[in-house]
Structure 1
Amino acid sequence: MAVAINIPVGNPNIPSDRPESIAPTNNATRAYVTMRNTGRVSVVDLMALREIDTNPQTATVDGIALPQGARPQGIVIDPKDNYAYIADQNRPNIYVLDINPNSATYHTVVQTINVTSPLGLSQLAISSDGRRLFATGSDSNEQTPNRNLYAVNIDPRDKPSAQGSNERKWHQQIGVIPTASETEGIAATSDPKKMVFTNGFASVRTISNGEEIKLQDDGKGFGVLEITSEDPLNFSALLCRWAWPLTILMSTRQWL
């Protein structure tokens, strides 16, 4: 398939300023691109097919700055185009970016959701009903296995009406689901109670000269997560067996 058009994003004078993941708005007017090495998010106008300058007061085309030291990776957008959720590869943080053009805090990070990952986070996905956000743990440090899925409540109905009150744990971690190996990709299904994910399985074999080599066990690399209780105060989920008759290819990284 031929590339129809290339859209430059980031600062061309910074070699490491390259796109990592991309999420389009549901109304197909904009796309948000994480720039992992410079801690920013670039915004693309999908009608004009060019990057948007989020700070016209400077001479350069500027993206949206995330908190100091951020290393953004996965990004997803809620069904109503109110927020973009951004995973930090090195920190157990999910940044909440306001993307509602009618909001007073448009294009600013309005909250940081903390999860209990021992490292950072990798990919994100939202259930098909828009009520739950799931994150996979980053495995950038081989000395600290990160074998969990993290569930966050993003149900708009649970958003607190009064400041300081959050009885339904909106924008908070509500569950941790252990997996058998380092989980990377995650995606929604048409069933809001089911998510699918990919693992990185490996076994070790010692060959004749004593050298150890890792063998990938790809047959166990695909899993299904089923929510058994949706209540954010009593959330629970279980992992189904890997028994699907089809080979499904999941993209865990998207490029602009």
Structure 2
Amino acid sequence: MTDPALDERFRFGDAHHNDGVHTKIAIRRLNFWYGETQALRDINLNIYEHEITAFIGPSGCGKTTLLRCLNRMNDVISDIHVEGEVLLDGQDVYAPGTDPVVLRQRFGWVAQKPNPFPWSVYENVAYGIRIHGLTNTREEQDELVKVSLERAGLWDEVKDRLRDAGTDLSGGQQQRLCLARAIATSPEVILMDEPASALDPLATARLEELIEDLRKDYTVVIITHNLQQAARVSQRAAFFHLGRLIEVNDTEEMFMRPENQMTQDYITGRFG
């Protein structure tokens, strides 16, 4: 039985998952090792297009490792080993001949703590646009910078401060600047590793509104330790423990009627 208190503790978004929706990422039999230590075990998971999928679970359960497997950011770590498949639109990102640099252009990344470059607000967003050759003129670049800052809910706050250092912004503004930087290069998937963990409640609420809006154009995967946040923003939730995927389901279904006792224990606060 589900804890009745959950009805009061969680407010759900539109958990409308439709099995006919396009599978953007299909993870199949994925195993991952750091040296001799196995961090992920036989992960099978679908991530659907234009949905927000939340990875939840206690620290050290493999969430960030899995997130970094999707765009092969783990490749920069020595002595790792990967088995299995990560299919992006049906193509295995680990297939021989895949260029990780080109692959990562299809992903945006927002880290746990705001990490703007030590440049101006404008250059934080324009840099990726420029190195990917997305515009031909300065006017086009200016417009794309503006649009990206607008999509991140930041334009009105910084339009007169574009030459100021990005690091001079508040914490919440810095995180939205990093979000603008991530979407400026027109990725297909946005990966977010606890993006609100360093923000105050007001900045967190603003960021959550933006995340919900972004799924109209992107597929979003977010790691969060805040179960209320997972309930508010995601359509699907995947619960991990000790490197294994324990349960995945529509968010409302998982929180209200978990199928696994371990999931029930985690979301009701009995461990984690």
Identify the TM-score tier after normalising by the shorter chain. Answer: under 0.3
Give the structure with the higher percent helix.
Answer: 2
Give the structure with the higher percent strand.
Answer: 1
TM-score (norm. length: structure 1): 0.25
TM-score (norm. length: structure 2): 0.24
**Bigger relative contact order (CA 8 A; separation at least 6):** 2
